[in-house]
Chain A
């Protein structure tokens, strides 16, 4: 059922409007489905002019942070094409609503891959700066996204960055949007670095005592992650990529047993801990005990640890004891989800979403 408010008729002249969303991770009065970048810009321009709040999303697979309640849900599901795959230049360009599964299928045909196991859309992946087991070597979207077309909160389309491997020609606006959960602006199109798919992937499971060898031994594993369980069980997973002839003995030489360590990702209430890079395991162990969590995954080398927890009662304590940013990634929490509020972000918000229409409350500015 459409909510009949005076602005929705005006909105419907710009873009297709449908029912809003009422789920645990978002509540919107109406949803809009832009078909091109111009429509995204006009929706945001309209919202800014009329002080209407907007929640941008696509597949809703990986919501992060507090649930927001907005007038408009900006849905990217129709901006879902892969635009260009360049095996020579090793980049791909795609619209932000493009599901990573279809992108991967497209890349696979050309012998390429984007190193992540994220399940949602390109825009979601970049906006969440989603960590994965592959982050050990390839890093996160922060490192992989070369450029983008973005739209500011007041509806200005901006090309920022490029398809080239580096860019030093003006502020890195698109990089500021990475990880910002659509709060500073939205992606409409992304240019990503891709890699030639290795001839083989070799996966192994082993003891955590191998961690230092894998991390600092110069062997260059693509993925290293360590899973800690509340009962004290811990195991390490690693993936190598390369030529079959080169990797045939790597597992045996390291005394890793064949297989893929599960899980690589978590369910339920999730807390993210920003550890120092290279010390993810130490932080995971400590965080697991302080937060009284069920399970922790240390994405080695990425500086990210994720934990599934029963509840969030120990978040503040963990922040005090560990002294690193600890974020309530998913779940109902009546405290501060972020625990950090730099003035730099406030300034960026002022510049990129001057009317503050994007996801109000996603990131709280007024905490001290």
Chain B
């Protein structure tokens, strides 16, 4: 599965300047070369794929923005990684929200597995994923994997909002980002194709913004879909928004930032008259990753620690998070995450 050759070839661009170190959440937490983009690349180049750093990458790809040489770090990780059995198991569960619901319930009952204990610790009570389709739908609402089970009310609100104007079909599924990030590249392609088929050429409005970002890049996998992040759709269509008397801060999810999606969140909030207290660095990684928050409990908690300070400095309790894995992390930090859809 791992494509070491490809990873090594992509690594050639790295000049070992280290500009990526201080933006990398795991480097910031450990201050160790092993858990830095530069160190991971050096490990890939030398063929040391068992280096512990290869597994600890959150896959936020913030290093790509800091890289002056244009190294495609995400591609390197995706190509170099060999998913563990545990990761594959997590991926399979995420692929089907119903499966996730059942797994979460088992976890809450005390399933004696490390990853299950972590799920129980991190997630709110699971709910059966809602299903909905208007006849002859003209629009897909894509809720992703986590939202239908743990943020059902957000999904329903978004659905209600869109239904006022469009005939909508709700799809609860996995975009494959977690698979792609953790080295299951072929499976990720299968999921992308499956989603492409399900959409039947209809535009997709996606609720989790990191998934939106990943789906927007489906073209590179040879799958054509028309995808809008929820706030992007709201803003591009200039859908009417209610006025809100609120003070909050905004978390900018990592992949949403890569695709330039966070600006739509800000412009929507501005239209609603919401008071945003900016964090010093709203893009600071939250520690969630995809399956990361479940698979790397120690490191993800350390990354959360830094984010917690950043959010706390704003004095806000409510944090807008358009990505649900991030929302789980923010909840663990003791904040109240809301999606833009929750304000409608």
Q: Do chains A and B touch in the complex (CB under 8 A)?
A: no
Chain A residues at the B interface, C-beta cutoff of 8 Å: none
